[in-house]
């Protein structure tokens, strides 16, 4: 599927919307009262930002059980599926990067998920997914500059019934899950096993097998007429392969083939307690959470059969959050204020040793050194079979914020003004050490040890102001128009993955100085100052409309975002081995997003489309000027076109769903020299539904469209991750 199909899909989408407008809208009435955003004082329908809501029925019929699956269905949202569960790259509105801080905030039942490494997980028992698009900094603070994704899980009070399912599919993928509800508890669990979709031809084994278990227990209690308690305990464990990257050379993509271990293990848990206290005058909403994550990533960093270098990154992080919101109890009042306080502290102990293996020592270290030493002088040798670069970090980050947002209603108008003051800080203790044994021929008669240690502390802190102004006009009952100006920011941080390059650089300098040999043109290296990167911030100017009439809804918006210090994941020049976050000077995103939904009777459909032109305004990377170029990894378009119909036959029914979704074109590097064309993927599902159970057949990427989900360079070599191939599933779902 490529550009032609994309055009066909776009046309079909617009035809669908035109057809919708010609159709009497007197069938099913869409309800929005059950959906709320975590902190807003007004209902989702009156928020002056674009909002997408995906309810449980659509999650089920769309086979959506991970955040990645929401890509394209939510306009502009692109969460490519590659790497491993810690990857969690998220792109929206020209923002996003694959490392460090996320570009959207993730909330589960109003509890923020702090660690991006925990953003990719399987869920079960989700009642609805709500995505607020655009910077939501005033209420949600750091890292909500692309939007906020809020998951509402099943509640004991909901009409849902206990259920369980069993699913089997391509690559021995087996999923099983259950949700059990009683008067005050909901217990959800889901387990997935998969052999993987890509083989590592070197090992003759799957590259990306997966085993994961997610558990959640939700307890809801009315302590009194005024006090409501909700406790949500979520935990997950996964063990998987990963990094199914194939070498791209001379226009040919080779299969995945690497020799060292690649995989990821994670144990995560979030315990959140929410207290709602209601009086006649105000509602106090207090949320506190404890979050824990321990993970272990092993990566063959050269991604080839050669023994060049490996990375093992282990983290144990613990965090605590606390938040208090106060708002008015009278929802009908013309002034709706929200005032709150938020704080968190996160502590992360990380160990990230990089081991240079023999071929890495030969090709990356010795080759570079000896290339600059004339033969008549001599040559350097290193006798070690492996050179470990030990890197231990203690990372701390904290934030404290005060915020207020007031919504004023006057006739058909609603005005919102808000301001948030964030105090943000971070600290890194680093302790890095490497040793090698070298000998210079012909002058040295024996090996000599050379040890380099690099220890120190870095920190940063500062204040951030996040204002918001918006106006919403109810032109008629179904039609609302809005305009919003808001600011968002993404926290800065530390480049832990670049320390092996810094150490390698220091080692070579120390060794050559010890030898008394000085290169006339030292290789371009990574300076220690590169270990920090700055916060990113953006101003968003947006206007849009929202139309709701019975079974039809339409949303459209256009935006302009001015981004300062855009965070990018880049590869240092030369033969460096790490990757790091850097700040581009300035960029801007210009875009439009639209979504249509129509659900007359047994028919339902959704059309989502986003266009984003994200370009650097000022970005000089030291070698090249990228001003005017597209921001890499950001698709210019995302599209989702889905429809379904329920055929009813007495005591049972047949539910048929199909969707066409994809994105593109997108550019893989800052220079825009390599791009990915538009790819669309056809998914489908057929379900035979009885009152107590259903059996279904599902298919993903039915046309087996080939494309790439990720591109990168490692030590000058290019690699691609391919999109998953055609997948079939069969499943049984039972309502208890």
Partner 1 sequence: MKTKYLIIAFAALALVGCSKEKDQEEAPKPEQATYVGTVTVVSNGSSFDNENIEVSFNPSESGDSCSLTIYQIRFVPQMPVTIDVTIPGVAVAVDGDKTVLSCDSVVPLAMGGEYPRYKVTDFKGEMVGDEMAFSLNFGSSPTSFRGTRKED
Which residues of this chain interact with partner 1, rule CB under 8 A?
A: 372-374, 376-378, 439-440, 442-445, 448, 514-521
Closest CA to 425 of 344, 528, 487: 344
CB of 493 to partner 1, least distance (A): 38
CB of 371 to partner 1, least distance (A): 9
CB of 387 to partner 1, least distance (A): 19
CB of 433 to partner 1, least distance (A): 22
Nearer to partner 1, 161 or 448 (CB): 448
CB of 512 to partner 1, least distance (A): 9
d(CA 649, CA 383): 77
Contact 424, 464 (CB under 8 A): yes
CB of 389 to partner 1, least distance (A): 23
Nearer to partner 1, 4 or 521 (CB): 521
d(CA 347, CA 394): 7
CB of 501 to partner 1, least distance (A): 22
Nearer to partner 1, 400 or 519 (CB): 519
Contact 81, 72 (CB under 8 A): no
CB of 241 to partner 1, least distance (A): 45
The 8 Å CB, 24+ separation contacts for 44-48 are 44/130, 45/480, 45/546, 45/548, 46/414, 46/472, 46/480, 47/132, 48/414, 48/416, 48/470, 48/471, 48/472, 48/482, 48/483, 48/484
CB of 99 to partner 1, least distance (A): 36
Taking only Cα atoms into account, the Rg of the chain, rounded to an integer number of angstroms, comes to: 27
Nearer to partner 1, 374 or 650 (CB): 374
Residue 447, both tokens: 């090996």
Nearer to partner 1, 515 or 682 (CB): 515
Nearer to partner 1, 347 or 439 (CB): 439
Q: Give 156's contacts (C-beta < 8 A, 6+ positions apart).
A: 181, 182, 183, 184, 185, 186, 218, 220
Closest CA to 98 of 597, 702, 668: 668
Contact 678, 664 (CB under 8 A): yes
Nearer to partner 1, 278 or 509 (CB): 509
d(CA 274, CA 520): 63
Closest CA to 210 of 179, 242, 234: 242
The torsion angles phi and psi of 81, rounded to 5 degrees, stand at -100, 100
Nearer to partner 1, 148 or 452 (CB): 452
CB of 375 to partner 1, least distance (A): 11
Nearer to partner 1, 261 or 514 (CB): 514
Contact 2, 9 (CB under 8 A): no
Q: Are strands 105-108 and 147-153 parallel, antiparallel or unpaired?
A: parallel
Contact 257, 304 (CB under 8 A): yes
In 23-77, which residue ranges form alpha helices assigned H by DSSP?
56-61
Nearer to partner 1, 428 or 515 (CB): 515
CB of 384 to partner 1, least distance (A): 17
CB of 5 to partner 1, least distance (A): 55
Nearer to partner 1, 378 or 478 (CB): 378
CB-based burial label for 571 (10 Å; 0-12, 13-18, 19+): middle
Matching residue, tokens 């009194």: 224
Nearer to partner 1, 144 or 380 (CB): 380
CB of 266 to partner 1, least distance (A): 47
- Displacement of CA 80 from its chain's centroid (Å): 8
CB of 520 to partner 1, least distance (A): 5
Nearer to partner 1, 439 or 713 (CB): 439
Q: Quick count: other Cβ atoms within 10 Å of Cβ 77?
A: 29
CA dist list (Å): 134 to 340, 384, 432: 21, 52, 39
Contact 270, 291 (CB under 8 A): yes
Helix (H) or strand (E) holding 507: helix 499-515
Nearer to partner 1, 2 or 575 (CB): 575
DSSP three-state, residue 101: coil
CB of 258 to partner 1, least distance (A): 35
Contact 734, 95 (CB under 8 A): no
Closest CA to 727 of 75, 170, 37: 170
3-class DSSP string for 630-666: ECCCCCCEEEEEEEEEEEEECCEEEEEEEEEEEEECE
Nearer to partner 1, 515 or 687 (CB): 515
For residue 26, the number of C-alpha atoms closer than 13 Å in the C-beta half-sphere is 1
Residue 127, both tokens: 């009642």
Helix (H) or strand (E) holding 138: helix 137-140
CB of 522 to partner 1, least distance (A): 10
Nearer to partner 1, 461 or 518 (CB): 518
Nearer to partner 1, 516 or 651 (CB): 516
DSSP three-state, residue 585: strand
The torsion angles phi and psi of 537, rounded to 5 degrees, stand at -140, 160
CB of 439 to partner 1, least distance (A): 8
């Amino acid at each position: 599927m490529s550009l032609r199909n994309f055009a066909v899909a776009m046309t079909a989408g617009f035809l669908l919307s035109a057809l919708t407008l010609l159709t009497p809208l007197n069938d099913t009435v869409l309800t929005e009262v059950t959906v709320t955003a975590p902190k807003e004082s007004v209902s989702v329908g009156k928020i002056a930002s674009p909002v997408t809501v995906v309810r449980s029925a659509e999650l089920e019929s769309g086979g959506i059980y991970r955040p990645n699956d929401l890509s394209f269905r939510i306009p502009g949202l692109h969460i490519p599926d590659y790497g491993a569960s810690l990857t969690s790259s998220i792109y929206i509105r020209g923002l996003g990067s694959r490392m460090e801080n996320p570009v959207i905030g993730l909330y589960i039942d109003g509890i923020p998920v702090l660690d991006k490494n925990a953003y990719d997980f399987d869920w079960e028992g989700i009642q609805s997914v709500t995505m607020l698009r655009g910077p939501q900094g005033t209420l949600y603070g750091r890292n909500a500059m692309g939007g906020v994704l809020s998951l509402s899980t099943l509640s004991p009070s909901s009409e849902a019934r206990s259920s369980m399912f069993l699913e089997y599919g391509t690559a021995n993928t087996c999923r099983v899950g259950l949700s059990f509800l009683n008067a005050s508890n909901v217990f959800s669990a889901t387990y997935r096993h998969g052999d993987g979709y890509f083989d590592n031809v070197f090992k003759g084994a799957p590259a990306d097998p997966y085993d994961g278990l997610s558990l959640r227990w939700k307890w809801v209690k009315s302590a009194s007429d005024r006090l409501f308690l909700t406790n949500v305990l979520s935990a997950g464990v996964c063990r998987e392969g990963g990094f199914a990257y194939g070498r791209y050379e001379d226009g040919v993509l080779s299969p995945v083939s690497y020799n060292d271990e690649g995989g990821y293990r994670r144990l995560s848990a979030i315990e959140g307690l929410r207290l709602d206290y209601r009086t006649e005058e105000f509602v106090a909403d207090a949320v506190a959470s404890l979050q824990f994550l321990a993970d272990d990533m092993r990566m063959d960093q050269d991604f080839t059969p050669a023994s060049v270098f490996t990375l093992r990154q282990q983290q144990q992080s613990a965090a605590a959050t606390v938040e208090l919101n106060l708002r008015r109890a009278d929802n009908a009042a013309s002034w709706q204020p929200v005032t709150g306080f938020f704080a968190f502290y996160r502590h992360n102990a990380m160990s990230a040793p990089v081991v240079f293996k023999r071929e890495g020592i030969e090709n990356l270290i010795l080759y570079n050194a000896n290339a600059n030493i004339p033969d008549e002088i001599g040559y350097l040798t290193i006798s070690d079979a492996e050179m470990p670069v030990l890197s231990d970090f203690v990372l701390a980050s904290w934030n404290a914020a005060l915020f207020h947002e007031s919504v004023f209603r006057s006739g058909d108008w609603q005005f919102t003004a808000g301001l948030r003051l964030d105090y943000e800080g971070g600290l890194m203790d680093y302790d890095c050490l490497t040793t090698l044994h070298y000998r210079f021929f012909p002058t040295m008669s024996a090996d000599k040890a050379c040890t380099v240690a690099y220890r120190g502390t870095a920190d940063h802190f500062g204040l951030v102001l996040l204002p918001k102004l918006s106006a919403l006009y109810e032109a008629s009952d179904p039609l609302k128009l809005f305009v919003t100006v808001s600011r968002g920011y993404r926290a800065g941080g530390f480049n832990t993955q670049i320390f092996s390059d810094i150490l390698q650089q220091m080692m070579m300098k120390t060794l050559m100085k010890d030898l008394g040999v000085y290169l006339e043109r030292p290789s371009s290296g990574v300076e220690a100052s590169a270990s920090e990167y700055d916060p990113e911030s953006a101003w968003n100017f947006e206007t849009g409309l929202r139309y709701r009439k019975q079974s039809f809804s339409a949303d459209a918006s256009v935006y302009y975002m001015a981004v300062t210090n855009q965070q990018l994941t880049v590869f240092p020049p030369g033969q460096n081995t790490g990757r790091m976050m850097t700040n581009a000077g300035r960029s801007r995103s210009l875009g439009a997003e639209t979504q249509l939904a129509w659900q007359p009777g047994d028919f339902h459909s959704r059309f989502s489309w986003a266009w984003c032109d994200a370009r650097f305004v000022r970005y000089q990377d030291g070698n090249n000027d990228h001003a005017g170029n597209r921001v890499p990894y950001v698709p210019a378009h995302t599209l989702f076109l889905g429809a379904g119909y329920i055929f009813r036959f007495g005591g049972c029914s047949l539910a048929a769903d199909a969707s066409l979704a994809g994105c593109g074109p997108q550019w893989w590097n800052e220079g825009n020299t390599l791009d990915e064309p538009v790819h669309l993927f056809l998914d489908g599902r057929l379900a035979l539904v009885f009152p107590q159970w259903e059996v279904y057949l599902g298919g993903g990427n039915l046309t087996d469209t080939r494309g790439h989900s990720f591109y990168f360079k490692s030590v000058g070599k290019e690699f691609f991750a391919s999109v998953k191939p055609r997948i079939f599933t069969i499943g049984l779902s039972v309502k208890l």
